[in-house]
A and B are shown apart, each in its own frame.
Chain A
C-alpha cells in the first residue's frame, strides 16, 4: 500500500471500527463498486489522512479519481448520485422530494442523537451516563416507530436510513453492556431489522465482530484514561 493515490478509481480511508466508515463500505458494496481500502490508525493519524481531511482529520474519506469527499452522509449521497443505476434503480434515496426529505431527516437524527449518546454510554458514568442512556433509548424508540411494520426504513428496499443506522449494529453489544440497556427486549422490531440487514452481503462483510468492538472500547478507555 503506497502513499500515492491512484489517479483513477476509488480509495476509502477508514478504520475497521468506525461506524461512519462502515456506512461507506456498505454503500460501495451495494453499488457493486471496486475500491482500495486504506486502513487508518486513528491513534497515529497518517500524513495522507491529514492532507485529505485537513479540517476534521477524521475518517471516512472517499477518494474518487483523485478527489476527496468527507463526511459519511455526504459521501453516501455522492455515491448515490454518481452511480444511480439504470433509471435510478439502485438508489439509496427515493425519487420523491418529500420522501427524500424524510430520509434525510432520520439520517440526520441518527447523527445528532445516536452518535454522542452512544459514545457517552461507555465514556461516562453517573448522571452523564443516565442522560446518555435516556437520549439513546428514546431516539432508538423513535426510529423503531418510524420503521413500523416495514422490512426496511426504505420500505421494500434497503436504503439511506438503513445504511445510516445499521452501521452501529456492531457497537450495540458494547452500548448494551456499558449502559445496562437490554436492547433485545426493549427494541424487538429494531433488533429484527438488524438481523434482516445482516442477511445482506454488503452489511455482513462490513460489520466487525461485536466482541472485537467491545475489546476495542476497553483499549480506547485505557487510552483516554477513563475508569
Chain B
C-alpha cells in the first residue's frame, strides 16, 4: 500500500471523468479522500482549484490541484511508477492509446447524447449508424492495442480501458433508455466481452455507480436538457 500522501479527489458519483481518477488511484493502490462536490452551486474549493473550467474532477496531491481527467490519469501514472503502469512503455503504443482516448471522448461518446436528444426516427437512424461505425473501430482497436490480451492495455487494465470503461455505465443507461443495443455481442463480440470484464474488475467495480441510480439521474438530466433545448 502506498503511504497516504495527502491525495484527494474532488468529484461527483455520476461523472465518468471522476471515475477515471479513482480507477487510476485504485490500480496504483493509492489511498485517497473523496470529496463530494455540491455542484449546484459550485463549491468554493472547485472554483478556487479549477478557475479556468470550474469542472470536476480535480485531483489534489500534496496540496497541488490537477485538472482534466486524461491529464490526471497521466499524472497518476507518472507519479506512482512502481505499481501497475497505465500507459504502455513503448512511445508508439502510447501514441495509439492517446489517440483512442481522444477519439472516444471527442468523437464517439458525444453520439450517445445526440441519439438521446434526437427527435425523429431518421435522426436516430443516422446517429445509430455513426455509433455502430465507432464501435466497429473500437472492436478493431481492441485487437491492435490489446495484442491478444484481455484488455486494451494487453495483459493488464490500461489507459484506453480506463477511458472507455468509465463511459460504460452511461452507455448502458443509453441502451436501456433508448432500446438501442450498442455493445451488441453479435456485432462486437470482443468489445461486449471486454465490457463485462471491466465492470467486474475490482478497481472499477468499487466506483461504478449502480445502474438504477444512474437511470434515475439520466432521466432527470435528459428532461432538463430537452426542456432547455426546446425553450431556445
Contact = CB atoms under 8 A, between A and B. Distances in A.
Contacts, number: 53
B94 A105 contact: no
Interface residues of A, number: 21
A105 B91 contact: no
A71 B103 CA distance: 10
Contact of A97 (B75, B94, B98): B75
A22 interface: no
Contacts of A71: 98-99, 102
A206 to B, nearest CB: 21
A78 B99 CA distance: 11
Interface residues of B, number: 22
Nearest to A102: B66
A81 B91 contact: yes
Interface in A36-91: 55, 64, 67, 69-71, 74-75, 77-78, 81-82
A180 B103 CA distance: 35
A55 B137 contact: yes
A104 B99 contact: no
B131 to A, nearest CB: 15
A128 interface: no
Contacts of A74: 95, 98-99, 102
A180 to B, nearest CB: 26
A142 interface: yes
Most chain B CB neighbours (cut-off 10 Å) among A64, A69, A108, A109 = A69
| A interface, over-half SS | helix
A98 interface: yes
Given A74-B102, A142-B52, A100 B94 contact: no
Given A55-B137, A101-B71, 20 more contacts: A55-B103, A64-B92, A69-B95, A71-B98, A77-B94, A77-B98, A78-B94, A78-B95, A81-B91, A81-B94, A97-B75, A97-B79, A98-B61, A100-B74, A104-B71, A105-B67, A105-B68, A108-B68, A108-B71, A142-B52
23 contacts: A64-B92, A69-B92, A69-B95, A69-B99, A70-B99, A71-B102, A74-B95, A74-B99, A78-B91, A78-B94, A97-B75, A98-B61, A100-B74, A100-B78, A101-B72, A101-B74, A104-B68, A104-B74, A105-B67, A105-B71, A108-B68, A108-B71, A109-B52
